[in-house]
Amino acid sequence: MWNPYTLSCGHTFCAGCLQDWFSTAYAHHLAKHPAYDPQQLIPGHYRAALARADIPPHRKRDIEREILLMVSSTPHPEYSCPTCRVLIRAKPAENFIVKHLVRTIAAAQGESPPQEVPRPIHRALEGPFDGFFPSFLKFM
């Protein structure tokens, strides 16, 4: 539990275990929907239009509404909690309390945390679960 994350149902797991669990669900979804690509759900011209500062408010609302229709009509992977099987629709949150406890107890026992491999800085994927829970509307 060096890197614990808590799901919306309240259960906490290590990041690696959750990534493995979600990867399996993602692979099953891709087997059923091979063309699924969450990064390509929103056309580039919509992204470009919403990035403009001079877009009129009514046009922005129209584009957002169209994006919501596209996103909601596309089947997405269903991620669940490994323990209670509740569907998880939001990114897990890092649990700093458990992380601190684990590191404090480990230090008292003479253990040190494993060396963390720095993640490459990439705007599209900033957190360990962004690939599973893309922020479709982060640019709005």
Give whole-number Cα distances, 114 to 20, 33, 79, 99, 109, in Å: 19, 37, 28, 13, 15
Percentage of residues in the chain having pLDDT higher than 90: 59
Domains of the chain are 4-36+75-108 (3.30.40.10)
Percentage helix, strand, coil, to 5, in the chain? 40, 10, 50
Distance CA 94, CA 110 (A): 24
Residue 139 — very low, low, confident or very high, per pLDDT cuts 50/70/90? very low
The answer to whether 26 touches 77, Cβ cutoff 8 Å, is yes
Mean per-residue pLDDT, 36-45: 83
- The answer to whether the CB of 42 falls within 8 A of the CB of 136 is yes
Segment (H or E) for 79: strand 79-80
Enter the pTM of the model: 0.76
Q: Return the higher-pLDDT residue of 49 and 134.
A: 49
Q: What is the pLDDT of residue 16?
A: 94
How does pLDDT run across 103-130, given as a tens digit for each residue?
999 999 999 988 876 655 555 557 889 8
Phi-psi region of 4 (alpha: psi -120 to 50; beta: other; left: phi over 0): beta
Give the Cα separation of 9 and 86 in Å (integer): 7
Structure confidence at residue 93 (pLDDT): 96
* Sequence letter at residue 129: F
Over residues 41-52, the pLDDT tens digits come to 888 898 889 889
Average pLDDT score over residue span 83-108: 96
